[in-house]
Structure 1
């Protein structure tokens, strides 16, 4: 998948991370399984890796390339564009 394209979701991911170029404010939601998210954009944070369990969300802090994979073998990613409402975003430290 090209980093410049935002995928149609939900998208089932495996253990090999996919690369996505996402705008600031994009909501990434795990709708099944477990997802792992990392990016250079997260380097200054206390936790530079984000782990989402099913039902949890993460909002991108800036436009950047994000790598998303499923550390336990499979996970389902749903994206919500900036400005759309999401149910209480939650982050879990890795």
Structure 2
């Protein structure tokens, strides 16, 4: 599985905007996955705040970061684990 597919799967697990649940295509969150993948390839620790910044860049009115901080923190932790395994 490619890194992009792994990030897409992580986002899909939470479906933050509920788009997959209403029938959006599997690649619906690809732009966000691309930005999160940039973090995975970076050197800075991936924090919930970093994930929230990426998310709000794409979904400015999203309630997800504030309404589900547990999910944001879990996604950040999983992305950070990916970053470390990539040598970041």
Query: TM-score w.r.t. structure 2 length?
Result: 0.27
Please identify which structure carries the higher strand content. 1
Structure with greater contact order relative to length (CA < 8 Å, sep ≥ 6): 1
